[in-house]
Chain A
């Protein structure tokens, strides 16, 4: 299967980019060229040079170091927030599907509708007003918002799968409901969930950027790509590189995860023909 996987261009490219981002994030935990939080006003707004490969920002902080730490934070946000959404959302969605039409199903779906009715940012603000600002709480807020997304999708996809005869055959064979969900439904909705997860991952990163802009996400001096991007607006004319680098980083990470998601879905499908 690995051999087959390596022949899918989107999978390979997506994996490459994702590994790159992962690698950078991993490296950042041990080493960055400079201290990402150290301010040196005397060296502010320097374009890329030998000492600061990607230049410095308005406080003299090294852009490359901030970018690397930012990668770590972005990954954290993406993985944990989407993880929360996936685990709780899919469980709720599958449960609702097994009890289709019942009060429980209606309740879960209305709750999802309710959450969707509020703009995402507003919901996040509400949640963070209660919890207080910061990276961890931002992750929680984004995670909570991911739950109805996955619940909806899992429910719809599960219902489709459960209408098939092989589910009835499994029942006739004597499998319990939980066994059927685990052995038959989950593997068959996996593809859709993976693709959605990659989309949500990208959205999570963007959401964190938005929250940081409002000042309620990652707090300074903790670096965040989003905040870097937003801070750079004031200095766009003088130091465009301050916007380009974090912007490119976000775009690259988002692209990488989307490609990986697409590629994974194709690779995991036993029906996709070998090239």
Chain B
């Protein structure tokens, strides 16, 4: 029900995102994995029609067969919050510090004409209960600073879900939270997804978190898709050198004494990335062809865009 086709984003001629395509069905979750500069956050903003000025998007973003990129601002406004909900990384900055929680949750409902104010507040209370906030009746009148980080994130989820959107975009929703809280929030998101049948786009840099949340994963680097497929298959037997590099760089499950294998170098600025495969330059298997030509799609148990996919030597 969300179908992204050949999404390209450019900033003054420099490609920020190259030819991204994916689809998410109702009730499904797709994990978008990438480090800084991968373009993952830009993709989310493009879907919402919230790209910063200067950025141009092309391609098609189909939400239930309606192309979001072709819509004007007014139509997009009616979609944001209503059919697409979004939650961000930093709950404190996403919540207005001078308004009470109840008001903020009720806002989308009233804005989109779903309910009148009084009814919206009652709905807000039930939403608070649903997301696991204790004493929801009292909390309606609290201000954001009176809540902990985890609670604020729950409030954000309540806000995003209030109009029962078809699509939920979660951009690093747990990165700023403690591990135990993160665990609860991830469970909450999963429960809500199953109950409401929402499609979820889960963006993170953390492979372990994605593994927990998403059935399918797409790995981005330097604005281009590297590999995609069933999450477990991807993590067990990655075929793309970048995915392999990411996994090798993690200390999880590694015994002491063995060295981590970082990916050498660092992410170059967008304008210096190779024409062909952006990972060229840091890739152990890259050659001149990779730099010049766009890598082809190769399909096995995962789909990888690479001239040299395959097992680690």
A touches B (Cβ under 8 A):
no
Binding site for B on A (CB under 8 A): none
Residues of B within 8 A of A (CB): none
